Amino acid sequence: MLRLLSMIVAGLSTALNVACSESLSSPSGSRGQSRQSGFTPALTPQESGSRQRFFAVSSVNARVVWASADSGTFAVTTDGGAKWRSAVVPGARELQFRDVEGVSETVAYLLSAGEGANNRIYKTEDGGATWQLQFQAGNDPRFFYDCFDFWSPSRGITFADALDGRFPAIETTDGKTWRDMGDRLPSAQTGEGGFAASGTCITTESGTRAWIGTGAGPKARILATVDGGSTWTSYDVPILQGTPTSGVVSVDFRDSFHGILGGGDVAANDVAQNNVARSSDGGKTWIQATPTPFSGAVYGLSYVPGEDMTVVATGPGGAAWSRDEGKTWSQLRGISNYWAVGFATREAGWLVGQAGQILKIDFSREQRDENRAN
């Protein structure tokens, strides 16, 4: 059950600061080694103003970034992270904001995940000074909403765990009201759902395409649409799956055809895993990529804009980057317990995670000494 999984994931702490080693053996052979050159992107720790666990990050541009956290907390910067402002949404202190969508320095959405009525969507139009509750799930404790993504400031979709054989997913077309769209999605497998680890179990592209990664059921799948969500098709994926704590956790596409996904078993972060796959046909078929050099599951991954096939992946066990879409990897040394990563430009990306950690990552500058950011 994904509610049980949520408690497992939420309970992960700094005890999971795994000392990752490239000597770990992969379930399918050698793990991704650092064969990409001595280059290391520049990493700059930033002060979030909070000590809550950050789950998700949304970069509007190189200046404006929003992040969402535990205990009803959000954070926003309007100067590229030189200064962050964090606060608690009134009445939401008991909520876990597992996803965030930044639209501008004044407009953003927050998604909370939990049991029943603790699944909510809030929107601000004044930079976080006030928040409007737009959606609240019913009292059935089986409701659990995992992630959302938007094609435009007013058009987005939200994914939820299976309930009675269907996904109670919702959508908005006006940025104000949300309605059920679950009947359009494929039937759900027993126990199937998403992972609310980084807010990236959905990604949208080109105004009509979207991909949803699932797990926790007999098979992990990608659910894909090419017509703005009117119809969906499911496709199998070749990563670790088949248990209540394994499957696809994060998915991203750099165009309509080329994509990458990450995941694995989120309850086994000290174990080497087959945790990455890629597609070149819009998500119809997937091939297993080289596992990350850090152990455990991938919680979040993102393409780097302007860097073609460059990807950054992160999870409690560590973080790494690849210039060739997961064929080879370079580990970001000394980095662990960052749950999500997102980019505005190649110069401006952010990793967010445990204990209020925020780390800016810049692929336009080189950091040759061993990374020791915490």
pLDDT, tens digit, 9 for 90 and up, residues 172-181: 999 999 999 9
pTM: 0.91
> Is residue 229, in this structure, part of any structural domain at all?
yes
Rounded to 5 degrees, φ, ψ at 2 are: -75, -20
- Residue-wise pLDDT tens digits, 299-332: 999 999 999 999 999 999 999 999 999 999 999 9
> Is residue 373, in this structure, part of any structural domain at all?
no
Q: Give the Cα separation of 255 and 173 in Å (integer).
A: 23
> Is residue 155, in this structure, part of any structural domain at all?
yes
Place 371 in a pLDDT band, splitting at 50, 70 and 90.
Answer: very low
Q: Give the Cα separation of 267 and 215 in Å (integer).
A: 13
Residue 368 confidence (pLDDT): 62
> Is residue 374, in this structure, part of any structural domain at all?
no
> Is residue 231, in this structure, part of any structural domain at all?
yes
β-strands 357-366, 348-353 pairing: antiparallel
Residue 38 confidence (pLDDT): 79
DSSP at 19: -
How many structural domains is the chain composed of? Answer: 1
CATH code of the domain containing 244: 2.130.10.10
Residue 11 confidence (pLDDT): 42
What is the span of the domain harbouring residue 286? 2-366
> Is residue 33, in this structure, part of any structural domain at all?
yes
Task: Give the lowest-confidence range in 85-89, 150-154, 268-272.
Answer: 268-272
> Is residue 371, in this structure, part of any structural domain at all?
no
> Is residue 372, in this structure, part of any structural domain at all?
no
